[in-house]
Structures are given as structure tokens and as C-alpha cells.
Structure 1
Amino acid sequence: MRDTRSILPLHVSALGFHAGGKDLLSAISFDLPSGGITAVIGPNGAGKSLLLRLCHGLLTPSSGSVTWGSPGGISAGVKRHGMVFQKPVMLRRSAEANIRHALAASGLPRHERPARTEAALARFGLTDLAARPARLMSGGEQQRLAIARAWALSPEVLFLDEPTSQLDPGATRQIESLLGGLRAEGVTLVMTTHDFGQARRLADRVLFLHRGRLIEDAPATAFFAQPASAEARTFLSGDLLW
């Protein structure tokens, strides 16, 4: 039987990552409770995407820790968090088969996969595209498929790395609407973005990174109205940070 206890909160403590003779992340600490959208923002090279990969478990920290759940809560090894990348990796299969493959890889019983696949396609407006080769879909369609594929695995937390950076305004609006729907359903979202307008529209909380350090952790409204650090004020004004 599936363990239904929450994997949250996520505890990130003194997290660091060292590569190529450089400290790419240093002493990052924060807790992620259940609910809402957290936007991770900062200049290029600040460590935003790296932070998401470390939280998702794709990389091993050089120092510090990433732990899930309350002590004595979630069982060890339970993973109910997914990740959607800036440029989704699509298998050379149909949209439907991409979702089925993810379900099979997760160990979902075979008899449950058809219904779960159909639900994911319908939830993200892809039913009519089910048989289309995933790699021939538009950028916006591929991103919807990537989110549908992650959603089909019933994640409690979804990490999204620049989910709309390569999309036109129409496709961006679609994705933002879908993300708002996921938040309303209770999925906790953490996303990187360079789009201040998007962060203002969607985020409940902002983590501002600069040179691999967490400079500010604040409610989104407070951060955009009156950032506490000189670095954030400079960044939001459009000036370069060094």
C-alpha cells in the first residue's frame, strides 16, 4: 500500500555544492512547507537550476543536507516529487506512450496505467494529441506533456526549471494557468524564472540567489514591494550584479 503521509516539509540545511574548483552553492538553508508556489530568482549563474536539481536528488550535495518530512514521518525512500526541465526530454514515442513509460518506470501496476494516462492527457488538454509523436509537438505542447507526465505520478511537490522561457506569450499563459490549477489542487510548486512579471503573478514566496548564496527568503508581495538587500534592489532595477 502506498505511504500517503506527507513528504513535507522539505528541509535544506547549509547546502553546498563544489565543482570545477568553485563553490557553486554555499550555505543554503530554508524550509519548504506544504502549499503555494515558490519562485527561485536571481541572475544567470546564481545557482537556481542547481538548487532544484539538488533538492530533487539528481545531484549529491558537497556539504549540508536535503531531507524530507518530519522526524518519524515519511518512510525512507519515498519519493513523491517530480521535476520539469526547461527543455523537456521527450522519448521517440507518442505523447501517450511518454506518459505510459513514466508510469511503468515508477512501478505503477500495469492495470492502473491506462486510466492514469487518460486522466493526465485530459487534465492538460492533450487528449487529441495522444497519438502524435512527442518530438514533433510544439514547444508549448511538449511542456504541457512534460507537466502531464510528472502529474501522472501524483507528485506532492513539483520542481520546474524555467518552464516558460522558450515559449511564446500564448503558450506561456497556458502553462501559467495550469500551474495555478496545480497549486489549487494542493501541489506544492518550486520554479525558477527570469520573468519578474511571472513571479509577481504566480509566486507566494521568493528565494533570491546571488553568487550561490541565498540572499533573501520572503513573501513575494513583500519582496517585490521592498526588497531587503542591496543585491535584490539592484537586480530588480535591471542593473547588472557582479
Structure 2
Amino acid sequence: MTQLFNLHGVGVRFGRVHALSDCTLRIQAGERLALVGSNGSGKSTLLRTLNGLVRPVAGSLQHDAQARQAMLFQRPYMLRASVLHNVALGLWLGGVRWREAKAQALAALARVGLEHLATRNAKALSGGQQQRVALARAWALKPQVLLLDEPTASLDPSAKREVERLMAEFADAGMTLIFSSHNLGQVKRLAQRVIYLEQGRLVADLPVAEFFNGPVPAAAEAFLKGELA
């Protein structure tokens, strides 16, 4: 199995704040990896570090430079343009001719069930629809790795189910999923492996069944019991 990421002793600081400390982690192609922990535990920082948006100040990070990546944020940014143009622009910036970029964007919107909204202003869509547009925008780039930061945190139950369905389908097609979530039910449904972070430190790294049913470190046990904010 191809190794996508190899982190050894990685540290990230924002001023005096240690956002990640001594983080050692390996991620293989095809995994479904969930990052869990309290607010401020380092989940978003780890995702951004994997995506190259944040540079470590300590340790080493090796990654497969041939593996295409895409990242979805909790609140995806939508351009003040049509839904179709929001998806096509990334393809065009990647070198695809505009006419072909629009055709591929329309196919991506069909993949997430939003082709009927192609001409709508993306800013006017609901939160769930915007997240699906963001998924289409990522999927259109054909990434091998999809990183998602709380992808359903602000969505209603119906939109959450739709986004989860798409995530599962992408993973079934071979895409590597690395996502953060406070929704433990979602973690059970989608993840194969769980990383528990606390105050920037990786406390537990376990298969999903062991994380929820087996013995875990005390801090992770408190989190599972709802005793941590």
C-alpha cells in the first residue's frame, strides 16, 4: 500500500501557541481517517499541515508529491458567480480550456446532484448546497486525497446525510479521506481509523472499532463520555 504522509515529531506554532506538538503519524493510500478532539485540539491545524497550508517549525513531514490533493473547509468560499463557474474556475486555473472546464464542471455538479442549479449564483445557495458545490469542485480535480474540516458541522440533518453519502461514495471509489468531525456517529459511519488529539498532541491512533469499544487513554475516554468541552 502506498504511503501518502509520514510525519515524525512535527510541531506547529502560532506565536506562543503550540498548535501541534511532537506529532508522529503515517497515512496510507485508501484510508478513511477521522480526526477527533475538543475545540482547539489541533485537528484543523493538522489538516492544513497535511495540505501544505501550514509549515511545521519542528520535525519532518514527507508526502507523496504525485498524489493530488483537495481540501474542503467548514465554510467553503463561494465566488460571486454562477455555481458552474465556481466549479469550472479551478479546472481552468489548472490548465483546462474554458469550454472543456465548463463541461467537466457540469459533470461534477451532476455527480453531486446539483446540475439543475448550474446557473444560480453560488452565494444564494443554502449551506448544504454550497458544501456539495465545494465537493463537486474538489471531485472535478480528481484528487487522490480529500481533506475535509468539519464538512457537515453547520448543516441540517438532510444535508448532512447527503454530504456523508458523497464522502462514502468517493472513498469507495478509492479516494483517501482525512476528515475532522465532532459528530461521533459520523466517525463511526465513515472512518476506518481514528486519531484523537488533545492540546496539539496525538493521544490515540486506533481502528474505529477499538476507539469506540476498546480501552483508550484516559483523556480520550473522557472525551467519549462527553466530559471534555
Partner of 1:240, secondary structure, is coil
Question: Aligned match of 1:150 in 135, 138, 154?
Answer: 138
Distance 1:66 1:171 in 2: 35
Distance 2:153 2:101 in 1: 31
Distance 1:8 1:82 in 2: 17
Distance 1:222 1:29 in 2: 20
Partner of 2:105, secondary structure, is helix
Structure 1 gaps of 5+ residues are 1-5
Q: Displacement of 1:18 after TM fit?
A: 1.2
Aligned partner of 2:208 in structure 1 is: 220
AA of the residue aligned to 1:27: D
Q: How many residues align?
A: 229
Distance 1:88 1:19 in 2: 23
Distance 2:96 2:53 in 1: 21
Distance 1:89 1:65 in 2: 30
Aligned partner of 1:191 in structure 2 is: 179
Partner of 1:9, secondary structure, is strand
Distance 2:103 2:177 in 1: 25
Q: Is the 8 A contact 2:89 2:101 kept in 1?
A: no
AA of the residue aligned to 1:205: R
Aligned partner of 2:25 in structure 1 is: 30
Q: Displacement of 1:9 after TM fit?
A: 2.1
Instruction: Show CA shifts across 1:14-37 (max 9, x none).
Output: 111012212111011111101131
Aligned partner of 2:221 in structure 1 is: 233
Distance 2:55 2:157 in 1: 36
Aligned partner of 1:57 in structure 2 is: 52
Q: Displacement of 1:196 after TM fit?
A: 0.8
Q: Is the aligned partner of 1:113 residue 2:101?
A: yes
Q: Is the aligned partner of 1:43 residue 2:57?
A: no
Q: Is the 8 A contact 1:16 1:26 kept in 2?
A: yes
Runs of 4+ in 1 over 4 A off after TM superposition: none
Which residues of 2 match residues 7-22 of structure 1 at below 5 A? Answer: 8-22=3-17
Aligned partner of 1:200 in structure 2 is: 188
Q: Is the 8 A contact 1:80 1:154 kept in 2?
A: yes
Partner of 2:222, secondary structure, is helix
Question: Aligned match of 2:129 in 141, 147, 158?
Answer: 141
Q: Displacement of 1:109 after TM fit?
A: 4.1
Q: Is the aligned partner of 1:67 residue 2:62?
A: yes
Q: Displacement of 1:85 after TM fit?
A: 0.3
Instruction: Show CA shifts across 1:3-57 (max 9, x none).
Output: xxx9842112211101221211101111110113110000111010011001101
Partner of 2:61, secondary structure, is strand
Q: Is the aligned partner of 1:100 residue 2:100?
A: no
Instruction: Show CA shifts across 1:192-231 (max 9, x none).
Output: 0001111111111000000100001110111111242001
**CA distance 1:7–1:57, change in 2 (3 Å):** farther
Q: Displacement of 1:59 after TM fit?
A: 1.3
Distance 2:123 2:85 in 1: 12
Moved more, 78-87 or 170-179: 78-87
AA of the residue aligned to 1:170: S
TM-score (norm 2): 0.95
Distance 1:7 1:219 in 2: 19
Give RMSD over aligned pairs.
1.6
Structure 2 gaps of 5+ residues are none
